[in-house]
Amino acid sequence: MPIKLIIFDLDGTLVDTARDITESLNHAIRPHGLGPLSVEETTGLIGEGTSRLIEKALEKPLGTPEAAVKEAALKSFLKHYSEHLCVHSKAYPNVRETLKRLPAFNKVVLSNKREDLSVKLLEDLGLKGFFTLIAGSDTTGAKKPSPEAVRYMLEKTGTSPAEALMVGDSPYDIEAASGAGVTTVAATWGYRDRGLLAGADYTMEDIGELMPLLIKLKAIEK
């Protein structure tokens, strides 16, 4: 079956959000005597959603954080990040150009970032209009690597697994898509070492390689 649906991860795949997340994370953990974390340290924590990001930032120095500490840090992070969502964040090279070249495909975003923040980020960057559906960690309650998150996107778009392809920079993306029977494409320009992406069906060094890959898969003609 030809590819009809392209599912994109957000952070580390379409948009480099690491610096804004780092600054908000440091704002949240500073009152607890922690940090500051570097952008490189923070990128190693990104990928499992906001709650898990806060847990991991607190766990390393404190062990399992008390519920009150975690809740305070999470609330502080969300407030700061929602107010500084797009200070430094920007689309990766060739993202906008590639999306413009894919009008024949249904394009959606599946992120472990909360839905409202995902929508606002894409809106602020002028990318929201490319996508028919944007889902976050709180959309269904199922987060990647759960295949349920991908199955939700298939159901909402009326697409079979054989007609879909997912592009992501994380092993969580690959595991979720593979579990749902969807073809996987690893984005090596993102936040994870390429060794962690070995399970993907295909690998790209730049999102501009998506068009040649779709031609190879006979999803579009030359």
List 9, 11, 20, 169, catalytic entry: 9
184 phi/psi in degrees, rounded to 5:
-115, 140
DSSP, res 65: P
CB 132 within 8 A of CB 138: no
What is the Cα–Cα distance from 113 to 136, expressed in whole angstroms?
Answer: 5
Our answer to whether residue 11 is catalytic in this structure is no
Beta strand segments in the chain, E: 5-8, 15-16, 90-91, 106-110, 133-135, 164-168, 183-187, 202-204
- How big is the chain, counted in residues? 222
**Coarse DSSP helix, strand, coil percentages of the chain, rounded to the nearest 5 percent:** 50, 15, 35
Quickly count helices (H) and strands (E) in the chain: 10, 8
CB 38 within 8 A of CB 19: no
Residues involved in catalysis = 9
